[in-house]
Structure 1
Amino acid sequence: MKKAINIIAGAALLAAAFGTASATTAEPRIAAQPVATIVVQSRDGYNRRVRIHNQTGWTMTHFYASDSRVDDWEEDMLGSSVLGSGSSVTMNIDDGSGACLYDFKARFTNGQELTRFRINVCEIADYYYTR
């Protein structure tokens, strides 16, 4: 099984999970659940944070990023959240292995599954899911 990948999403993930909110409406609040998180980081100085953009017209329900050298998918990085169409979220795709090439897989509410291979997360800052 692969090492856990840490999610750095913060407010962007929560906003994506609840859709967009106007400046005049109150921000949705959810109860934080204690989570034991082990932050793993490669020591090579590369930034592996990637903003995932959902431009498919469908809601993304699952997102996986796994080292291209292995055959197993990691846990769903969205967890219990979703990423609405037109929304984006920044994720830390660093599993501590020093890998730069990752395979991405996303699932959507309509049953579609889009898989992309050998994405160099050390060289990109944004990744766009389109149909």
Structure 2
Amino acid sequence: MIRVSFVAWMSFALAGPAFAEDLAFTVVNDTSSTVVEFYVSPVDTDDWEENMVSSAVAPGDEVTATIADGRSVCDYDIRAVFEDGEEAESRDVNLCDLGTFTLHE
């Protein structure tokens, strides 16, 4: 089973984005499975929004994810789908404070 955890970088260079600006963070695949889909949706949304990765993220690789939805929110639900069909979800993640989101086994 794949578990999700996150690592927050606290740095003066990444103090958190201003509201209604693009929200960028690094997604690290620290699992043995390839990520084929990665979704984020505001916590008050019932549906997953569009897939944020344009190509698969192999084990050990990382990609920058940018949320450019024009919303003034920080709290998102996250869902990763792996090549083998496994899924991992994390709820109510404050992405304004997050510099890196790491997927772990």
Under a length normalisation based on structure 2, what TM-score does the superposition of the two structures give? Answer: 0.77
Residues 1:74 and 2:78 are matched in the alignment: no
The 2-side partners of 1:94 and 1:111 are apart by 27
Q: Give the counterpart letter for 1:100 in structure 2.
A: C
Q: Is the contact between residue 22 and residue 70 of structure 2 (CA under 8 Å) also seen in structure 1? A: no
Q: Which structure shows the higher helix fraction?
A: 1
The 2-side partners of 1:94 and 1:119 are apart by 17
The 1-side partners of 2:57 and 2:84 are apart by 13
Q: Which structure shows the higher strand fraction?
A: 2
Q: Which has the higher contact order (CA 8 A, sep 6+)?
A: 2
- Among 33, 39, 53, the residue aligned to 1:58: 33
SS in 2 for 1:83: coil
Correspondence list, 1:17-96, <5 A: 44=19, 48-79=23-54, 81-96=55-70
Cα distance, 1:74–1:67 mapped onto 2, change above 3 Å: same
Q: Is the contact between residue 47 and residue 122 of structure 1 (CA under 8 Å) also seen in structure 2? A: no
Question: Among the aligned pairs, what percent are the same residue?
Answer: 31
Q: Give the counterpart letter for 1:120 in structure 2.
A: N
Equivalent in the alignment of 1:123: 97
| Paired residues, number | 89
Residue ranges of structure 1 left out of the alignment (5+ in a row):
1-41
What is the CA-CA distance between 1:52 and the residue it aligns to? 0.4
Cα root mean square deviation, aligned: 1.9
Cα distance, 1:108–1:99 mapped onto 2, change above 3 Å: same
Deviation by residue 1:78-119 (Cα, 9 ceiling, x = unmatched): 13x100010001111241111100111001011110011111
Under a length normalisation based on structure 1, what TM-score does the superposition of the two structures give? Answer: 0.63
Q: Is the contact between residue 64 and residue 73 of structure 1 (CA under 8 Å) also seen in structure 2? A: yes
Cα distance, 1:62–1:103 mapped onto 2, change above 3 Å: same
Residue ranges of structure 2 left out of the alignment (5+ in a row):
1-16
Q: Is the contact between residue 46 and residue 122 of structure 1 (CA under 8 Å) also seen in structure 2? A: no
